[in-house]
Structure 1
Amino acid sequence: MEIRALRGPRAADGRASTIVRIDPMNLRMSAILAGGLAVGAAVLALVLYLPEQPGFTAPDGPRWEAVQSEIPTGKAVRLEVRLVTAGGAPVVSGITVTSPRLDMGPDGMAAMTAPLKRVTGSAPGAIAFETEIVMAGRWALTIAANVEGRPKPVSGVVIFTASEKRTEAAPAAPAAGERRIVYYRNPMGLPDTSPVPKKDSMGMDYIPVYEDEMSGPDGTIRIAPEKVQRAGVRTAVVARRQLARSVRGAGTVTADESRLAVLTAKFDGFVEELFVSLTGAQVVKGDPLVRVWIDSQEILQKQADFLGALKGGRDDIERAAGNLRLFGIPDEVIAGLRRTGKPVRSIVLTAATSGTVMEKPAVVGMRFDQGSTLFRIADLSTVWVLARVAERDLTAIEIGQRAGITLNADASHEIEGRIAFVYPELDASTRTAVVRIEVSNAGGKLKIGQYADVAIEAALTKTPVIAVPASAVLDSGTRQVAFVAKDGGVFEPRDVVLGLRGGGLVEVREGLAEGERIVVSGNFLIDAESNLRAALATFTAHQAPQ
């Protein structure tokens, strides 16, 4: 491989440039013969990063060079390059730039780029850009251009060295009508100020603080309106509000105990016929459920007593009829006895309430004894949700409070209920109490046994109190402060005494009055400004002559 270094023409700033001639065929063969990736990579790195001087290109054609390779950091930094021939003469026309790029590749940070804005050059043929240099170091301008009379674009890399230009001189006095800068503050809100412009460790400019921003009444802070807007400062009016919080618990859907009915046999017998044969069937009060055969001598004897009273015209007819009713004989059967005068062995039992058949032990042909359950019916138009609530939340629970119920099967839909009762006993192991919530279930959406999440809206105060959004209060642990917004961008820090919290609000017992406007968002910026200015006042006092 042949690498030949030649002395090139001097740049406009007087610095010498270096021209490197590399035979491509020898380069390729040398990389292969080196027998390793490391050697090939080293050779390529030499080619790619050799241009440490202001200009670098092939020696037999035009090349790019910097008009001024030393540049400052900051905004609106000007970069200017020009295309010169192999003999050093500038190309002044016929240049069309196609793809410029500026990055810190020479310092190993090619991903750090800077935007380029094309501006007018200082001389014919000069190509100028304006950019923002955020960090000191070496910046590579990769540029390509179509040149009149050449078949291919001319490309190259020009290196600029950026350095911070700092001065400790005091800032110049402002002209008449200009705002006077008092000091510069850290852009990240740190308690660090400077009397002169500077940058932080990340290359960010310190932010100027103007005199008119500090000229507020004693105990207040003034901030420019544009800064308030950029920081997203929002305010709200102090008002009286009813404080409430959400008490949560897990619950289970159960039937309303007051809407249950059981058809129980009051005598021995057999099931002859079922009129309702399916569990889950809907029935109406008075609907026939089952026909039974009476296998009880006691019931037959009471029928005989009733018929004897009818025939004899005795005064105990109603007493005898009442005895039949006590044993579950329907009024329709008793009316039939009056009409026919003959005892019956087969009777029909009817539904005592409307609702859903929850249980149906009765089967055709089975024998039942006195006390056997034949049907269990529940009216599910209203159901209960029994929720367990933590002991610490019981004081906030009252009868009649609203409760939002969300089923695990459908978390997107909330059902409303009302607290009907708080059970008087706590579970010793979980320290929870059961709260009964009545819920309308006209559509039958709630199913017995379903799990549900319960959120009870519990009022914390009997009457409205002065309350503000919790975000309005800055709490250091030992001090609570809210910022009251005045006219003209003035903010007053106010110590407050807090009370109850709930629903994103906090009660203010002292420090604020109804109708005042307070900062609810962006108050951290105002607090940072206040701390910085207090630090500056202390710094100024220490610097004053004794």
Structure 2
Amino acid sequence: MKRITFLKSVLFTVVSPSIIITACSKKKKDAEGNVSVKTYTCPMHPQIVQNKPGTCPICGMDLVPFDKNNKDKGLTLSKDQQVLANITTIIIGAEGFEDNSYLNGKLVVNPEQTTFISSRVAGRIEELYIKETGIPVGKGQALYKIYSEDLLTLQEEYLLAVAQATQFSKDRRFQDILKASKQKLILYGQSETQIKHLADTKKTDPYIMYYAPQSGKVSEISVTEGQYVSEGSTLLQLENYNNLWVEADVYPSEIGEIKEGQKLKVIVAGWENDPQDMTLQFITPNLASSEQILQIRGSIANPDNRWQPGMQANIILAKKSSSEYLSIPINAVINDGDSRHVWVALDEERFEPRKVTTGLESFDKVEIRSGLKSGVKLVVTGAYLLYSEYVLKKGKHPLQEA
């Protein structure tokens, strides 16, 4: 009897630990029978997975725990979380992709707004009122005073014609002589006011003042005080910068995409956020003698003279894709080297990754060839934050199958 009791005691002692261990093990299993073991991954490299804390062997970041049994492909973010993550969305339209190329150009003076001040008569520059370049000149402003014996002779002829026309008022010949004499003074640059003053005072003056016919800035001075000039000599040059030409070089292979009258965009260096509209006005008919290029030209308004000739400018040449693929902002696409995906909004708080195939790319747009349709609500900013949040919560790439 004692022997049987002893054997029962030994058997109970051996079996009890196994029962206890089994019971404890069952407590670590979930409802589906899977053992709940903590799993860790790298936020930047989700391919690194292990069952204990540590650091990423690739980047050295601390591994974070995640639930590898979470099968949900999407993410849920509240309104407040979306504001903190700066998540914005757009509805994809049916517009095609446009690629832009940039033509290097520069701003130059529009010669149509350049005024050359030439001497109407031969004589000596007695006084020069504008003595340096860059000075703005208004219309009607005095430019120079000239001593001219030729003009003095014409004044005397005019006064004689006035006297004869007054004395013989009924003789048409003297009236015609007066008109011809007055016309000579006008052709020599005398204004109606100056001619009337001459007729009223009946005093000739060999020192004649000349005034600016147009407003502008003095770009060149070709004469000095005391210098003798001949009739037709260029004295000053005025330029108006309210309108500037934009010139750019084009290779012959690109000229087929450009035509006169085409609307283009121009970006002046320093004003990248303020593109200007330009109509292409001229394309050179032949190649430059020293280079295999053509030149195109248009003009842009220059309010308040904020731009100066010689500044760099780029002409944007848009190239529309022949296909009808969608285009989306390039920041919306997550490119991890092996695949590309975007995030779409399923509702106000639910977001889901979508694999896409891309095509042509520009500095701000990318062509989508598959994976998206028109009308989808797409995440534009905050896509990378959604990607990181997904990796932290799921411990895997958004496109990785369960």
Q: Which TM bucket (shorter chain)?
A: 0.5 to 0.7
Matches of 2:64 and 2:142, distance apart in 1: 90
Q: Does 1:505 align with 2:365?
A: yes
Structure-2 residue corresponding to 1:438: 300
**What percent of counterpart residues are identical?**
17
Question: Would you say 1:354 and 2:215 are equivalent positions?
Answer: yes
Q: Which amino acid aligns with 1:372?
A: S
**TM-score between both structures, scaled by the size of structure 2:** 0.61
Q: Give the Å deviation of 1:269.
A: 1.5
Alpha-carbon distance in structure 2 between the residues aligned to 1:369 and 1:319? 23
Q: Distance in 2 between matches of 1:269 and 1:517?
A: 79
2:238 corresponds to which residue?
377
Q: CA deviation at 1:332?
A: 3.5
Match of 1:286 among 136, 140, 144: 140
Q: TM-score, normalised by structure 1?
A: 0.48
The Cα shift of 1:372 comes to: 0.9
Aligned partner of 1:174 in structure 2 is 29
The 5 Å alignment of 1:14-413 reads 174-176=29-31, 187=42, 189=45, 202=57, 209-211=67-69, 213-214=70-71, 221=73, 236-240=89-93, 252-296=106-150, 300=153, 304=157, 307-308=160-161, 311=165, 313-314=172-173, 316=176, 317-336=178-197, 338-339=199-200, 345-380=206-241, 382-384=242-244, 386-388=246-248, 391=251, 395=257, 401=264, 403-406=266-269
Rounded Cα–Cα distance in structure 2 between residues aligned with 1:343 and 1:172: 123
Deviations 1:1-47 (A, max 9, x none): xxxxxxxxxxxxxxxxxxxxxxxxxxxxxxxxxxxxxxxxxxxxxxx
Question: Residue 494 and residue 251 in structure 1: after superposition, are their counterparts in 2 closer, same or farther (change >3 A)?
Answer: closer
Where 2:182 maps in the other structure, the secondary structure is helix
Question: Residue 445 and residue 430 in structure 1: after superposition, are their counterparts in 2 closer, same or farther (change >3 A)?
Answer: farther
Instruction: For residue 374 of structure 1, report the CA deviation from its aligned partner.
Output: 2.1
Q: When you count helix as a share of all residues, which structure comes out higher?
A: 2
Report the AA paired with residue 360 of structure 1. I
Q: Confirm whether residue 419 of structure 1 aligns to residue 274 of structure 2.
A: no
CA distance in 2, matches of 1:437, 1:277: 30
Aligned length: 343
SS of residue in 2 equivalent to 1:362: coil
In the aligned structure 2, how far is the partner of 1:349 from the partner of 1:263? 10
Distance in 1 (alpha carbons) for counterparts of 2:39 and 2:250: 54
CA contact (8 A) 2:100 2:319 kept: no
CA distance, structure 2, for counterparts of residue 323 and residue 477 of structure 1? 82
Q: CA deviation at 1:470?
A: 1.9
- Could you say which residue in structure 1 is the equivalent of 2:330? 470
**Contact persistence 1:199–1:205 (CA under 8 A):** yes
- Write the letter of the residue equivalent to 1:424: I
Q: SS in structure 1 opposite 2:401?
A: helix
Distance in 1 separating the partners of 2:27 and 2:53: 15
Q: Is there any run of 5+ residues in structure 1 with no aligned partner, and where?
A: 1-169, 535-546
Determine the structure 2 residue equivalent to 1:454. Answer: 313
Q: Which has the larger radius of gyration?
A: 1
Contact 1:424 1:433 in 2 (8 A): yes
Q: Deviations over 1:49-94 (max 9, x none)?
A: xxxxxxxxxxxxxxxxxxxxxxxxxxxxxxxxxxxxxxxxxxxxxx
Q: Distance in 2 between matches of 1:206 and 1:287?
A: 79
Q: Check conservation: 1:287, 1:351, Cα contact below 8 A.
A: yes
For 1:432 and 1:252, locate their aligned partners in 2 and report how far apart those are by CA, in whole Å: 15
Decide whether the 8 Å contact of 1:481 with 1:494 is kept in 2: yes
Which amino acid letter does the alignment assign opposite residue 290 of structure 1? Y
Equivalent position SS for 1:529: coil
Shift of 1:263: 1.8
- Cα distance in 1 between the residues matched to 2:30 and 2:226: 112
Aligned partner of 1:328: which letter? G
Instruction: Write the distance in 1 (CA, Å) between the matches of 2:376 and 2:302.
Output: 44
